[in-house]
Every structure is written in structure tokens, then in C-alpha cells.
């Protein structure tokens, strides 16, 4: 199963608006994606409550994994999203 590790760049971490943008992006992918902090238990990345429960603040390293067709491209896209400060930019389709 492919993985990507990325540092959360948003000033507020994966909370509020950045978490919403991320969860919506995952839901649009149509691929099962999970996210975890460190060696913690992975949670479904399409669940707002699960993502918020990670407590991933600014600078936290998170690991994404996905399974299914196009998983590599999905992970690349989501890792790119998390590596930007989503608090400071307008995101199309958000």
C-alpha cells in the first residue's frame, strides 16, 4: 500500500477550514485514504471527526496511505494540498 508523509503547513493545522478542505478533497477522490500521526492508529481521511481527532497542528508530520486504482496519484495530490497553508489561500471547489 503506497504511503506519503507530509508536514502540515496550515497555520491552524488540520483544524476548521484546512480540515474541511482536506476531507472534501479526499471525498472527491473516490479512493480509500487513511491518515495517521506518527505511529498512531490510521483513521479514515474522509471523516471530518476522525481527522480532527488526530490533533495535527502546524508542523505535524502525518502519513497518508491509500489503496486502489490511482492510489499513487491520489496521495501525491493530497500530500501537495497538506503541504500548503490552506488558511492563507483560496482553494477552488472548497
- Mean pLDDT within 32-40: 96
- Mean pLDDT within 33-51: 97
Place of cell 471523516: 47
> Which residue would you say has higher pLDDT here, 59 or 94?
59
Please report whether residue 39 resides in a domain. Answer: yes
CA angle 47, 21, 50 (to 5 degrees): 20
Q: Domain with 70 in it: what CATH number?
A: 3.30.1340.10
- Name the band, by pLDDT with cuts 50, 70 and 90, for residue 52: very high
**Parent domain of 42:** 3-82
Pair 37, 54: CB distance under 8 Å: yes
pLDDT for 87 equals 85
> Which residue would you say has higher pLDDT here, 92 or 23?
23
Place of cell 486502489: 68
Q: Model's pTM, two decimal places?
A: 0.91
Structural domains in the chain (count) = 1
Q: How many residues does the chain have?
A: 94
58 flagged as catalytic:
no
Q: Which of 6, 10, 14, 15 is catalytic?
A: 15
**Cell matching residue 42:** 490510521
pLDDT for 92 equals 54
Amino acid at each position: 500500500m503506497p504511503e506519503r508523509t507530509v508536514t502540515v503547513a496550515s497555520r491552524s493545522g488540520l483544524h476548521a477550514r484546512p480540515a474541511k478542505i482536506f476531507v472534501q478533497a479526499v471525498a472527491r477522490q473516490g479512493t480509500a485514504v487513511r491518515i495517521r500521526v506518527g505511529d498512531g492508529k490510521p483513521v479514515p481521511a474522509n471523516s471530518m471527526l476522525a481527522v480532527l481527532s488526530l490533533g495535527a497542528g502546524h508542523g505535524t508530520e502525518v502519513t497518508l496511505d491509500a489503496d486502489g486504482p490511482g492510489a499513487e496519484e491520489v496521495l501525491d495530490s493530497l500530500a501537495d494540498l497538506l503541504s500548503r497553508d490552506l488558511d492563507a489561500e483560496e482553494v477552488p471547489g472548497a
